[in-house]
Amino acid sequence: PLGLNSDWLDKLKGQKFFSTSPQHTHEHYTQVVRTTIQPLHGGKGSAYDAYEYNAHSHTYISDHQPTAKFSYDLAAMQVVVREQPRPWYKFLTTTCAVIGGVFTVAGILDSMLYAGINMRRKLELGKQG
């Protein structure tokens, strides 16, 4: 799909597991989650499924012969990604919030600067007690 890179598709790509002793055991566990992506524009049947997985690998020394263990788990839940259009008023309220925040910060900085200049003037005139 558009915007997905190869790292998302294959998390174990390029990883190598070596044994430095004859009794190393490599254990790999993956958990698979079904993800349904429903695009904004498209009719019925435009949704598609992707399968994401997490991979965990452990290496440890055992008392037995070297082993490679692989196990997987299919998750009981499903992730649904649904694109939805934003209403025009959300843009308007967000813009107003940003402008209000800028004015608030500017007001705070102005009052701090004004108070600092007044304090400096009073100190120069010797009227600060």
Tell which wins on pLDDT, 78 or 45.
78
CA dist., res. 33 & res. 119, Å (int): 63
Q: Kindly tell me if the per-residue pLDDT of 71 is higher than 60.
A: yes
Predicted confidence (pLDDT) per residue in 33-61, tens digit: 888 888 887 777 778 888 888 888 888 88
Which segment of 42-51, 94-103, 111-120 scores lowest on mean pLDDT?
42-51
DSSP states along 49-113 = EEEEEEEEEEEEE-SSS-EEEEEEEEEEEEEEEE--PPPHHHHHHHHHHHHHHHHHHHHHHHHHH
pLDDT > 70 in the chain, percent = 91
pLDDT at 92: 94
Residues 15-38, mean pLDDT to the nearest whole number: 84
Across 100-120, average pLDDT: 95
Q: With the CA atoms of 76, 82, 87 and 88 taken in that order, what torsion angle do they form, in degrees rounded to the nearest 10?
A: 130
Report the alpha-carbon distance of residue 55 to residue 69 in Å, rounded: 13
Average pLDDT over residues 17-23: 79
Contacts of 35 (CB under 8 A, 6+ apart): 49, 50, 51, 52, 78, 79, 80, 81
